[in-house]
Amino acid sequence: MEEYCPVICPEEPVPDDMKCCRECGIYEHGSRMVWGEGNPNAPIMLILDNPGAREDREGIPYVCGTRQTLQKAAHQTGFRMDNLYVTYILKRRPIRAYDKEKARNTCMMHLSKQLSDKKPQMILCLGNVAVQSFFRDKEAEVKKLRGTWHDISGFSTAVAYHPLAIRRRPNLWSLFLEDWRLVAERFQQLY
């Protein structure tokens, strides 16, 4: 297997009609809006909770720990980065307390628009916050839902732990790879 080397994925520009969105209240935190990164036409959409420090630092390209973990798993399961598009429930990075339920419900409208526009073949939802928001179930947990496919609003959806959870608890790495392999198997069937 070739050696893994992290790459910086291009960021998709925020649609003009969304740039000034203030509905969720996180705009007051001063963080910029991040629509997504990677191939906007990719067959696989990865959904995370919110942009992190890497995405919030415009003009300072580097691959953060979350991206390193995602890219390493993608590489080990045979994906190219152009097979993947990463987006978020919240489109801005929260940096202080906020009304979580209001923000997530508001930002789900943006994600619904992305799904409608992009029509991914499958989704990998990463972490409890993303899973609870996307599944619209406050009790949903990755540990109970991982390892199988779910039909969420007509999209084939798998779930996995958040990349930061994997970095904090390396014993979860094998489970993380299992979930990526589940997606890889379906991808190979389709392509």
Report yes or no: 29 and 95 within 8 Å, Cβ to Cβ: yes
The whole-angstrom distance between residue 150's C-alpha and the CA centroid of its chain comes to 16
Q: How confident is the model at residue 59 (pLDDT cuts 50, 70, 90)?
A: very low
Is residue 183 in some structural domain?
A: yes
Q: Is 147 left (phi over 0), alpha (psi -120 to 50) or beta?
A: left
Radius of gyration of the chain measured on its C-alpha atoms: 16
What is the number of other CB atoms lying within 10 angstroms of the CB of residue 31?
Answer: 19
pLDDT of 60 strictly over 70: no
Task: Please indicate, yes or no, if residue 40 is contained in any of the structural domains.
Answer: yes
- Strand-pairing partners, residue 38, are 85
Q: Which of 53-62, 97-106, 152-161, 168-177 has the lowest mean pLDDT?
A: 53-62
Q: Does the residue 47 lie in any domain?
A: yes
Token pair of 33 as six digits: 């809006």
How many domains is the chain built from? 1
Characterize 168-182 residue by residue with b for buried, 16 or more Cβ atoms within 10 angstroms of its Cβ, and e for exposed: eeeebbebbbebbeb
Rounded Cα distance, 121 and 140, in Å: 22
Query: Is 174 among the domain residues?
Result: yes
In a domain, 181, yes or no: yes
Does residue 112 lie within any of the structural domains? yes
Residue 9 forms part of a structural domain: no
Q: Please report, for the domain that includes residue 71, its CATH number.
A: 3.40.470.10
Query: Which pLDDT tens digit goes with each residue over 104-136?
Result: 999 999 999 999 999 999 999 999 999 999 999
Q: Decide if 10 is inside a domain.
A: no
What angle, rounded to 10 degrees, do the helices at 173-190 and 65-76 form?
Answer: 50
pLDDT digits (tens, 9 = 90+) for 181-190: 999 999 999 8
Q: Find the domain containing 181 and state its range.
A: 18-190
